[in-house]
Amino acid sequence: MILSQTEENYLKTIFKLEEKFSGSISTNAIAEMIKTTAASVTDMVKRLRTKKLVDHEKYKGTLLTKKGSAIAKNLIRKHRLWESFLVEKLNFNWDEVHDMAEQLEHIKSKILTKRLDEFLDHPKFDPHGDPIPDENGKIVYQSEILLSELKQNQTALITGVKDHSSKFLQYLETTKLVLGAKIKVLDVVDYDSSLLIQLNNKKEFRISEKVGNNLFVKSKSVI
């Protein structure tokens, strides 16, 4: 089946909403994420239903079928492989690659995806710490704890970001709070929930509650 880029983007969006919420996805949620109107979503969801890519009953919300879900996962696989390529091979920063990957994910060639994966040595995570689905669509989710959930004296590694905005990624870049960095929580300030942390056993500095709420970490003992 040949799908348009638009159809593919809808499938990916619905998949991400299913990951985030459980149960069927509202027309409005899709419209908001894809930045279009509810009317357009209703139209598209109907088309995807006739192609057996989603289940949808009037006024009851939308869910991907097995087939739709498989396509969505393959798109996410391609997106994250291309992001890895851009960072690992073309020396881009992690905050520069999303928009390019958004285009590259639509390149249709099974063998190209396979060769790219080999070229990159079968990476398991993309530059933002997100898991790359395998050829069969299997996704190994990290047990994700927010940095803000850590208690005093706990140590952890940064494994991912919740907020993918360039602004946030650039903040992380300048403060060296990058993927794989080691963090120890020295103090939690009761008043504003800000944290005093130590980075890679060296520099100590404070981060706001907002930053702590948007960084995923893996408690060191789990590694």
Binding site for DNA (CB under 7 A): 4, 6-7, 26-29, 36-47, 56, 58-61
| CA atoms within 13 A of residue 43's CA, in its CB half-sphere | 7
- What span, in angstroms and rounded, lies between the C-alpha atoms of 206 and 223? 25
Q: Is 4 in the site for a copy of itself (CB under 8 A)?
A: no
Contact region for a copy of itself (CB under 8 A) — 34-42, 108-116, 165-173, 176-184?
108-116
Q: What is the DSSP letter of 125?
A: B
Specify the 3-state DSSP secondary structure of 64.
strand
Could you say which of Mn ion, a copy of itself, DNA, none residue 89 binds, taking C-beta under 5 to 8 angstroms by partner kind? a copy of itself
Which residues, numbered 111-170, are part of the site for a copy of itself (CB under 8 A)?
111-112, 115-116, 119
**What Rg do the C-alpha atoms of the chain give, in angstroms?**
19
The answer to whether 177 and 199 are in contact (CB under 8 A) is: yes
Task: Report which of 128, 38, 21 is spatially closest to residue 80, judged by C-alpha positions.
Answer: 128
Build a one-symbol-per-residue string for 175-204: x at contacts with a copy of itself by CB under 8 A, - elsewhere: ------------------------------
Could you say which of Mn ion, DNA, a copy of itself, none residue 213 binds, taking C-beta under 5 to 8 angstroms by partner kind? none
Element containing residue 169 per DSSP (H, E): helix 166-174
Q: Which is nearer to DNA, 29 or 161 (CB)?
A: 29
Q: Which residues pair with 158 in a beta bridge?
A: 217
Total residues at the site for a copy of itself (CB under 8 A)? Answer: 19
Summarize as ranges the residues that interact with a copy of itself (CB under 8 A).
86, 89-92, 96, 99-100, 103-104, 106-109, 111-112, 115-116, 119
Summarize as ranges the residues that interact with Mn ion (CB under 5 A).
9, 98, 102
